[in-house]
Structure 1
Amino acid sequence: MKTIVIGAGAIGLSAAYYLRKSGVEVTIVDPAPPGSKASSHNAGWVVPSMSTPVPAPGVLPQALRWMLRRDSPLYISPAVNPQFLRFMLTMLRHCTTARFEAGLKVLAELSAETLQLFDEMAADGVRFESHTGPLTMLFKDARKLDAHAAELETMAKLIPGFSWRALDRQDLARELPHVAAGVAGGLQTLGDRSLDPESFTKGLAAACAREDVEFRLGRRASLQQESNASISVVVGGEVLQANRVVVAAGVWTNEVLADINEGVALQAGKGYGYDLPCQPGGPTHPLYLAEAKVAITPLQSKVRFAGTMGFGGIDERINSIRAGGLLSSLPSYFTQWPALPRPPHPWTGLRPMTPDGLPIIGPLPRQPHVLVATGHAMLGVSLAPPTGRLIAEMVTGQLPARHRAALAADRF
């Protein structure tokens, strides 16, 4: 049995890894180096505690109120495009409490074993920088703190080994001496982790290569319909044959599927980030600035800032004002922060978003030998191992694939 995986990000590499472990012959195709897009440009969090759908009660109305702010953390760039408008209307329908809670349970179940799977990868020789320790979330709005505490209570019931605690002002003063007076309180989770996402994708690519996964990099893959039951992959003029094709091309998934007149409900969600130098007095464990939607990740050689969510199509240009909102949010949470030795340069990454905030994992209804693995939003690294394992189950039939209906490509 042979499978071609289109996409060498965290999801595609994880799929290839588990497929190869299942005895499948695998070829990975990508025009870019492994992990060079959003798989490396993200906060690097493995966070069962934050595995929640983006569409939540009040999210889109808040985005509309922020549309006039050039540095807002959540924004929508209007497009006169029927597909985009249909996507946003579908997302709006999912911004209800009932649908949010249903999605939260699916993501929690997907996340339940992700830490164990990362440990198993490391034991198998996948090398990457990883950190354990608490994740502290800071809230200026006490109502938002209470709402997220209720989500954590649900997560604690669904995820083995996960726990959390509330932090009042006195707790925060002990943990973070320079916290600003406007911070109402915090939540701290135990059972989350952080990692260097670039090291993870490099380590996973190296592990795949050791297991004789073939890499075809530097050229775009196109799908070619051979018959009603057969699709081949064309790379640089060469036709590759396989029993299954896995499309894990992130926000570019629909560009690949268009070759066979297929598509899924997907839009790009643009994020920004900075890599700042490690300095005395800087953070020692991950922080989340809740209202600003900023993730801060201390790593061995840098402190990573990541955040924002912008809907506006596939656009990798950097808006320095939008990116700057990440750093300008600091004074409202901290009275003091280490001075920067030089102005930092931002980076950007495009996250694949679905209308309900759940990934798409599974076969296309009209093309069952083509499987899709995308739409993980900000959880691509966090959910990469369980997604890869699910894809391997679906391809090989070794185990019944879980969550099939909730993650199906045609659920919208």
Structure 2
Amino acid sequence: MSKKVIIIGGGIIGLCSAYYLQKDGHQVTVIDQSNMDAGASYVNAGYLSPSHIIPLSAPGVMIKGLKWMFNSASPLYIKPRMEADFLKWTYAFNKSCSSNHVKKAIPAIKDLAVLSQELYKDIREQEHFTSQYRKDGILMLCQTEKALKEALKTAGLASEEGLEVNEVTLADLKRLEPNVNLNVIGGTHYKCDAHTTPNEFMSEMKAYLKLKGVVFYANEKVEDIEVKNHKISALITKTHTFTADEFVLAAGSWSALLSKKLGIHLLLQAGKGYRINTTSSTGIKLPAILTESKVAVTPMNGFTRFGGTMEIAGINSKINKNRIDAIANAVTKYYPEITLTETEKEDAASGLRPVTPDGLAYIGKSSKCSNLIIATGHAMMGWSMGTGTGKLVSELISDKKLSLDIHVFSPDRRF
């Protein structure tokens, strides 16, 4: 049965939800408070990476966060704030930093990322998209024995999950990256991973959805939500009142603010990431993670992107120059012949990624609202999990058998 569905949020999760919902015959409207041309869905590393199986909340991460708390250039920066939501999130995050949690999270993360990669490829082929898609794998580059040891340990876990990964020596790296000088001792190569150019896919997807009748309202902020008998009856903006049969909350880092209007208290923090682009020839062929610095490198169509950092400092769009410099310095440290210019650094952009305390997204219905699907909290894996999440959203609304067991992603789970 065709339903009228409104999606709050026009990022990768919102657009992929719209794609599968219209495929299932629903009438879809997408509302977003921005112009839908910037943010995390546009400035990310473009990875479709089943390799990223370890959640942010892993053993030792909280200790590192505390050590880095007063270093605004650190890979993970948690700004101390006396706010109830932040303190609750921090407490839950600390509880989740356990080996038992990681063991439970790994298969769930892997399965959703693998599904999403397959669906991403299917969409490009079925709809004749021309956006970049390359499955060259991703390198994990290490400069120290300690980092290499940890990388090999993670590779072992990934291999146990059926992911294709192997250790690479300096000789291997010279063969894989013949045109760059690398200052590393070795690493791992995840052949299971792919990469893309995000703005290309987003542009093609929006154009496709509009052609198929999906209605878009940009620069339309939801001011209020009317609820009757545990169901959303209307969304209120400054200029419109929207009604529908079903609603999807895919508003990224803003989702927790909106869910409060429904009495749903999602533990969610905005994790800011940065990117620097260069159109200069770098010679880089393969995407890479600069392991110790937590910097991502992606050869995209027409430019190379360097990005990274996780800054938990509330919802804001401020550019922290220290963090931009940290990314640029890391690039030169690993690629001695590459230096990013001041102009390139000044053109840096940021995006806010919604981060849950346990590193697992919120996907599913809350018991407090019967006609709402929540799809947010993917942290650094939003791009990698976008298509799979969108398909699951449509399956829930269409009362279809789910492609995956999503109980670990429940919005009502306790921390």
Give the TM-score category using the shorter length.
over 0.9
Conserved 8 A contact 2:365-2:373: yes
Q: What is the correspondence of 1:323-362 to structure 2 with a 5 Å cutoff?
A: 323-337=324-338, 340=341, 342-344=343-345, 345-362=347-364
Measured after TM superposition, the shift of residue 212 of structure 1 is 0.8
Q: What is the correspondence of 1:31-50 to structure 2 with a 5 Å cutoff?
A: 31-50=33-52
Residue aligned with 2:88, SS: helix
Instruction: Give the distance between the partners of 2:330 and 2:276, measured in 1 at CA.
Output: 13
- Tell me: CA distance 1:141–1:56, structure 2 relative to 1, closer, same or farther (3 Å): farther
Measured after TM superposition, the shift of residue 93 of structure 1 is 1.0
In structure 2, the partner of 1:144 is 147
Residue aligned with 2:256, SS: helix
> What is the aligned counterpart of 1:71 among 65, 73, 83?
73
Conserved 8 A contact 1:8-1:33: no
Conserved 8 A contact 1:39-1:197: yes
Q: Identify the range of structure 1 (364-373 vs 170-179) with the bigger mean alpha-carbon deviation.
A: 170-179
Deviations 1:98-123 (A, max 9, x none): 11121111101112222220111112
Instruction: Give the distance between the partners of 2:275 and 2:104, measured in 1 at CA.
Output: 30
Deviations 1:27-62 (A, max 9, x none): 111121235211101111111111331111111111
Conserved 8 A contact 1:127-1:204: no
Residue aligned with 2:389, SS: helix
RMSD, aligned CA: 1.9
In structure 2, the partner of 1:99 is 101
Percentage of identical aligned residues: 29
Letter of the 2:8 partner, please give it: I
In structure 1, the partner of 2:280 is 278
In structure 2, the partner of 1:60 is 62
Residue aligned with 2:41, SS: coil
> What is the aligned counterpart of 1:385 among 387, 391, 398?
387
Letter of the 2:4 partner, please give it: K
In structure 2, the partner of 1:170 is 171
In structure 2, the partner of 1:10 is 12
Instruction: Give the distance between the partners of 2:385 and 2:344, measured in 1 at CA.
Output: 33
> What is the aligned counterpart of 1:364 among 341, 366, 372?
366
Residue aligned with 2:51, SS: helix
Residue aligned with 2:318, SS: coil
Measured after TM superposition, the shift of residue 262 of structure 1 is 2.5
Q: What is the correspondence of 1:20-31 to structure 2 with a 5 Å cutoff?
A: 20-31=22-33
Measured after TM superposition, the shift of residue 202 of structure 1 is 1.4
Measured after TM superposition, the shift of residue 187 of structure 1 is 0.5
Unaligned runs of 5+ in 2: none
Measured after TM superposition, the shift of residue 401 of structure 1 is 6.3
Instruction: Give the distance between the partners of 1:170 and 1:155, measured in 2 at CA.
Output: 23
Letter of the 1:46 partner, please give it: L
Instruction: Give the distance between the partners of 1:58 and 1:158, measured in 2 at CA.
Output: 23
In structure 2, the partner of 1:223 is 225
Deviations 1:362-388 (A, max 9, x none): 112110211110000011111001000
Residue aligned with 1:263, SS: coil
Letter of the 1:308 partner, please give it: T
> What is the aligned counterpart of 2:136 among 130, 133, 136?
133
Residue aligned with 1:313, SS: coil
Task: With the length of structure 1 as denominator, give the TM-score of the two structures.
Answer: 0.93
Measured after TM superposition, the shift of residue 342 of structure 1 is 4.2
Measured after TM superposition, the shift of residue 207 of structure 1 is 1.6
Deviations 1:189-211 (A, max 9, x none): 11211111111111111121122
Aligned residue-pair number: 407
- Tell me: CA distance 1:87–1:121, structure 2 relative to 1, closer, same or farther (3 Å): same
Measured after TM superposition, the shift of residue 346 of structure 1 is 1.5
In structure 1, the partner of 2:206 is 205
Is it true that 1:158 corresponds to 2:164 in the alignment? no
In structure 1, the partner of 2:83 is 81
Return structure 1 stretches of 4+ with deviation > 6 angstroms.
Answer: none
Instruction: Give the distance between the partners of 2:89 and 2:36, measured in 1 at CA.
Output: 29
Measured after TM superposition, the shift of residue 157 of structure 1 is 4.2
Flag the structure with higher helix content.
Answer: 2
Instruction: Give the distance between the partners of 1:173 and 1:129, measured in 2 at CA.
Output: 25
Residue aligned with 2:407, SS: coil
Conserved 8 A contact 1:282-1:338: no
Q: Identify the range of structure 1 (356-365 vs 127-136) with the bigger mean alpha-carbon deviation.
A: 127-136
In structure 2, the partner of 1:303 is 304
Task: With the length of structure 2 as denominator, give the TM-score of the two structures.
Answer: 0.93
Measured after TM superposition, the shift of residue 134 of structure 1 is 2.9
Conserved 8 A contact 1:364-1:372: yes
Letter of the 1:154 partner, please give it: L
- Tell me: CA distance 1:322–1:24, structure 2 relative to 1, closer, same or farther (3 Å): same
Conserved 8 A contact 1:394-1:401: no
In structure 2, the partner of 1:398 is 400
Deviations 1:257-303 (A, max 9, x none): 23333231100111111111131x43122111001000011112111
Residue aligned with 2:384, SS: coil
Deviations 1:229-255 (A, max 9, x none): 342122344322211110100001122
Residue aligned with 2:42, SS: coil
Letter of the 1:204 partner, please give it: M
Residue aligned with 2:264, SS: coil
Conserved 8 A contact 1:34-1:202: no
Is it true that 1:312 corresponds to 2:313 in the alignment? yes
